[in-house]
Structure 1
């Protein structure tokens, strides 16, 4: 199992400790070091070359965004997950090309989603590096059969998207309804059942939220509440509320509230 070399950066010792404890349950996460300020963070990132950085935004003198800006031009830039107590930085975080954005206190489910994104992103990076080495090897082969090698290189490879279900099969009293995932407006949980909303129809599927979210492509489907998943392609309007909450209007006419823990999803529409 490939270890994900991870650096934790936060000026609050308790925050570092809490994140360490949560990350202990992930066998592939290896914490290689920690630091408490931005300037040390830049040096350690350049020296240690971690795969992943959990980065606080508000730090005295040299904040998290400054850390990321200082890495521009480096040959190897780690994946960055911002961790902060302030949700107003979500848009800036995505503009800084952060892989994810976690609010303190970090919820276990959100951390699990972030780690899964890290794994997917790193696997894609590794595939690109392996293909590059293959090309270098082929170019050094004087007697390589050109047609055969071209066929190998141009053969479609399995992408991360192929792991996700294009259809949902819903059984009801002996009948099976096949629902195209792309047609789903949103999904909400009712205990161990998922309510699949498609236009003016609602299908009931016996499934847990934890399993359902793994079946859906995160590029299209995101949680906006502990019990609600939306199809990002169905969002027509984003409406902030005076109390800091936010509401999304879908093409089906449904209006859904974005909970504070998932507010970073809104940054994708701004």
Structure 2
């Protein structure tokens, strides 16, 4: 695999913990990012590292392994889970928590490596699925912003301009206005550089939506857009650049 699988192991016997960590580390692309000897520490490590895979002893102190995994799942963490224990009594409980595998002690190296192979195959399938979803969501023809309620997707061709309002960025389209706490710089990086320019420190404009450029005060110009009364500003040097591109003689207005 061309990515690193992050693993957390929870086991209260130091010798078993060390042995299992060594087996995992020796497997290609797997890395143990944290270990825990009780359920409380395990939950804290999951919150901190958001691992891809967890190996969890069911008989952990403070919080047993089943309850610890149930807790992280309720909090929204979804690592692949492998339980191990000296008893078979909890096998059904483990699989009800969507465990990938259930290993009995004493730890058998071949058994662990079979499990690691299964995990590796599952991770490849998951990554392939994520890549296919990314192709849809990360369509270069649109951008996404966080608006305080969630994520909003906006077609770039619909954007007329972006401006600042107080501490927020405001994205203006013909029919709707969107606000976000993202900075102008962050928004600018998402936009097509052939379509948008930073016309002013407080404005990013869609060149394809510009209807008119008119002088406004000393050293500045105002831009009008198709289908809206909203206006943006553009600096003298950017107007000069546009005139040059259009092969229009530039005469500074006074």
Residue correspondence of structure 1 range 117-196 to structure 2 within 5 A: 117-138=118-139, 140=141
1:98 is the counterpart of 2:99: yes
Aligned to 1:116: 117
Q: Deviations over 1:40-97 (max 9, x none)?
A: 1111101111111110001223100111111234344111100111122212111111
Structure 1 unaligned blocks of 5 or more: 144-270
Aligned to 1:77: 78
Aligned to 1:31: 32
1:139: Cα distance to partner? 7.4
Change (3 A) 1:46 1:12: same
1:105: Cα distance to partner? 1.4
Contact preservation (8 Å) 2:25, 2:32: no
Provide the secondary structure at the position in 1 that maps to 2:60: coil
State how far apart, in whole Å, the 2-side matches of 1:67 and 1:76 are: 11
Q: Deviations over 1:148-182 (max 9, x none)?
A: xxxxxxxxxxxxxxxxxxxxxxxxxxxxxxxxxxx
Paired residue total = 144
Provide the secondary structure at the position in 2 that maps to 1:88: coil
State how far apart, in whole Å, the 2-side matches of 1:105 and 1:39 are: 24
Greater relative CO (CA pairs within 8 A, separation 6+)? 1
Provide the secondary structure at the position in 1 that maps to 2:94: helix
Change (3 A) 1:133 1:71: same
Aligned to 2:228: none
Calculate the TM-score normalised by the size of structure 2.
Answer: 0.53
Computed over aligned residues only, the root mean square deviation of the Cα atoms, in angstroms, reads 2.1
Aligned to 2:58: 57
Calculate the TM-score normalised by the size of structure 1.
Answer: 0.50
State how far apart, in whole Å, the 2-side matches of 1:50 and 1:134 are: 24
Larger Rg over CA atoms: 2
State how far apart, in whole Å, the 2-side matches of 1:24 and 1:50 are: 14
Aligned to 1:16: 17
